[in-house]
Amino acid sequence: MTLAAELGYCPDDPYAVTATFKSPGGDVLWTFARDLLARGLTDPVGDGDVHVWPCLDTSGRAVVIVELHSPEGELLVQGSTHEITRFVNRTLALVPAGLESDRVDVDQLIDQLLGA
């Protein structure tokens, strides 16, 4: 089954990436660590709800597998390693690894957590 998906990144939430899956029942949005996606390009990674690992598809092309778990079910998707690497590199051009904390507004985060 083919499922359209779109990866997204916002520098204001520098640690996270989003994957939006388009389905007849409506869009499904998953948010997970950018670092998890980046590390999953070369090595199996993940704990909990999201696991990512490199693989070859049935045609021998390099792909990245993303496995998502929720109480409602599981989803296993694959994407082109080349395309996902390009996406990750674009996010790193916006906010380099190790500099994410420079982009986080701690005061705003505390206000959000306290409901102010």
Which pLDDT does position 46 carry in this prediction? 96
Which pLDDT does position 23 carry in this prediction? 82
Distance of CA 45 to the CA centre of its chain: 12
Which pLDDT does position 104 carry in this prediction? 65
* Spans of the chain, pLDDT less than 50: none
Which pLDDT does position 22 carry in this prediction? 87
Which pLDDT does position 97 carry in this prediction? 81
Structural domains counted in the chain: 1
- Going 21 to 68 to 18 to 95, the CA torsion angle's sign is negative
How far CA 41 is from CA of 33, 37, 38, 94, 113, in Å, comes to 13, 7, 6, 19, 33
| Number of C-beta neighbours around residue 7 at 10 A | 17
Range of the domain at 36: 5-114
CATH number at residue 79: 2.30.31.20
Which pLDDT does position 103 carry in this prediction? 67
